[in-house]
Structure 1
Amino acid sequence: MLLNENMFERAFRMTADSFSYLLGLLTPNIEANRQQSANSSGEEPISPPLRLMTTLRYLAGGSYLDIRRTVGISGSSYYRVINETMFAILGLRELKIVFPYSESDREVVMNDFKAISSTEDAGDVGTGRYYSGHYACPGINVQAVCDAHCRFISVDASYPGSTNDARAFRGTGVARTFDHAIYTQPNC
């Protein structure tokens, strides 16, 4: 139904093809044991697609009650599914975030950026803690770097939202390894 209404991307923050690809990578790691599920609850296990849908809706800011009602799972299962699926996502080597530390890797990234102007944006990730005076709400200062193909190559969320962006950036691993001679192109 979401595909027919063109709502899939809005609901899950990815295309249906990307969802299918991610599901294919995750299924071996999040598939529940049918026999164990039948023995413990007498119910069918929560399928990998429902596990991924639950987790993605949670990450997209969906309501706990709405997600549980839509998927049809208990509160304890809801949190267990999200936890297990998140750990499976974080464990995927295909999604590993790797910063280009070698000179040859950095050259490849720089060459991909030919004719692309640089940009920076900052925003807080809402948490309920770590108050940010600028945004007048709680949050975490997230510093992220993408390559020219919009793939994350570095993410750091070590500072509260009240931290100045420049200070938070100086505290990242990227800033500590940053070399202006390598990353800055003259006359850009």
Structure 2
Amino acid sequence: MDIENNFIGDFLNDLAYITDNESSSESSNEEEDEAYAKQVRTYRRSKLIPFYNTRKDIFTYFEEEKLIKTFRFDRASIEIILSLIVHLLPKRKTKAKRNLEPIDMLLVTLQFYATGTFQSVVGNVLRYSQSSVCRSISIISLALAMISKKKIAFPADLLTLKRDFYEIARMAGVVGFIDGTHIRIVRPQNHEKNYVNRKNYHSLNVQAICDANHRFLSVCATKPGSCHDSTIFKGSIIGKKFESGQFGEPFLLGDSGYSNTTFLLTPYSNPIQPYEVRFNRSHKSTRCTIERAFGVLKKRFNLLHGEIRMSPTKASWITVACCVLHNIAIDRKMPLDDPELDEIDDEVAHCHPAQSVSDV
């Protein structure tokens, strides 16, 4: 009997020991599980680093070819553009951790110009809110427009302009071709009827003068679509300079929408004489430069090819800013591989070949 009691006692002691080990093992497993879950949470948090913490390395996300396709400029050119306007950008004093740096605002704006898509889409690509994109576009566009006098201007020496135009169609004394193009805008809230052009949509009538290399020498982007080309030129600063003789004897070429003057020559309306026909032929050949300039501008910055969904004032800033960037792109020899440009080249190719106006 004692042996049985001892056996039962030993069994109970072993059972208690096993139970204690199991409970301690379960407790240990729970601690391990909790520690593992904590590690998982820590790892996940490490993967949730805000994108704005890595914005300074945004160039590492794009290869050189992709960078040019997305922003229309290479890294060196973007840095040059930033250096031209950084002193004009406002300095915002805020405690927010998601402050946009000047380079961020410039890249956002360049992509908006290049794609012409909705601001929210641009924000989704670069991880910015729509309000931040809108603010960046306004700030950068105004800054670029403010430096337009330095980047869009007639050179001090007009001899190079004359020589380049003379090589096109043997027209001596030409320093530029003037024309207008309509930039579609969203329906404005104020003076809505003034912005309806002859094609019955809202626009800005942008007047520009270009040289033989498609660089813009003068841009006026403040007039509504209903304004006539000749009216814009007469009231513009550049028009008054030519009228007052500040440029001397050189003259501009314009289409039949302008009045023929001593400083602006237009084609003959009904050419009969051989010299009139030859003049019109050379005039048309020279006109191809401004047509291609507008075509390249709108293809490089697709926003101008579509509709600018902003107020007329901001649309004017954007238009001038794109013209400034257009000149910088030409100076920097930025490539523009766009199949649609072949259509423009075909139009230029259909122009009459160069022929001397003095030939009989």
| Alignment TM-score, normalising by the size of structure 1 | 0.70
Give the aligned residue type for 2:182: D
Tell me, what secondary structure is at the counterpart of 1:126? strand
C-alpha deviation, 1:94, in angstroms: 8.3
> In 2, distance between residues paired with 1:27 and 1:10?
23
Q: Which residue of 2 aligns with 1:147?
A: 211
1:143-171 deviation line (CA, Å, top 9, x unaligned)? 11123443322111243223333333333
User: Is structure 2 residue 88 aligned with structure 1 residue 88?
Assistant: no
* Pick aligned residue for 2:132 from 77, 97, 101: 77
> In 2, distance between residues paired with 1:140 and 1:159?
6
Q: Which residue of 2 aligns with 1:126?
A: 184
Q: Which residue of 2 aligns with 1:176?
A: 240
Structure (1 or 2) with the greater helix fraction: 2
C-alpha deviation, 1:81, in angstroms: 2.0
C-alpha deviation, 1:51, in angstroms: 0.9
> In 1, distance between residues paired with 2:250 and 2:107?
41
Q: Which residue of 1 aligns with 2:104?
A: 50
* Pick aligned residue for 1:67 from 104, 122, 138: 122
> In 1, distance between residues paired with 2:196 and 2:252?
34
Distance of aligned partners of 1:87 and 1:121 in 2 relative to their CA distance in 1, 3 Å threshold: closer
Gaps of 5+ in 1: none
Tell me, what secondary structure is at the counterpart of 1:154? strand
User: Is structure 2 residue 153 aligned with structure 1 residue 98?
Assistant: yes
Distance of aligned partners of 1:88 and 1:79 in 2 relative to their CA distance in 1, 3 Å threshold: same
C-alpha deviation, 1:125, in angstroms: 0.7
> In 1, distance between residues paired with 2:160 and 2:234?
24
C-alpha deviation, 1:127, in angstroms: 1.4
Give the aligned residue type for 2:123: R
> In 1, distance between residues paired with 2:222 and 2:234?
11
User: Is structure 2 residue 83 aligned with structure 1 residue 18?
Assistant: no
Distance of aligned partners of 1:113 and 1:90 in 2 relative to their CA distance in 1, 3 Å threshold: same
1:89-144 deviation line (CA, Å, top 9, x unaligned)? 234488443345xxx6334432343313476654211112411223x421111011
Give the aligned residue type for 1:181: E
Higher-RCO chain (CA-CA 8 Å, sequence separation at least 6) = 2
Q: Which residue of 2 aligns with 1:111?
A: 163
C-alpha deviation, 1:22, in angstroms: 1.1
Identity %: 26
Give the aligned residue type for 2:105: R
> In 1, distance between residues paired with 2:88 and 2:109?
14
* CA RMSD after TM alignment: 3.5
| Alignment TM-score, normalising by the size of structure 2 | 0.41
Distance of aligned partners of 1:75 and 1:9 in 2 relative to their CA distance in 1, 3 Å threshold: same
Distance of aligned partners of 1:168 and 1:87 in 2 relative to their CA distance in 1, 3 Å threshold: closer
Mark the structure with the bigger radius of gyration.
Answer: 2
Q: Is the 8 A contact 1:128 1:138 kept in 2?
A: yes
Gaps of 5+ in 2: 1-60, 170-175, 188-194, 254-355
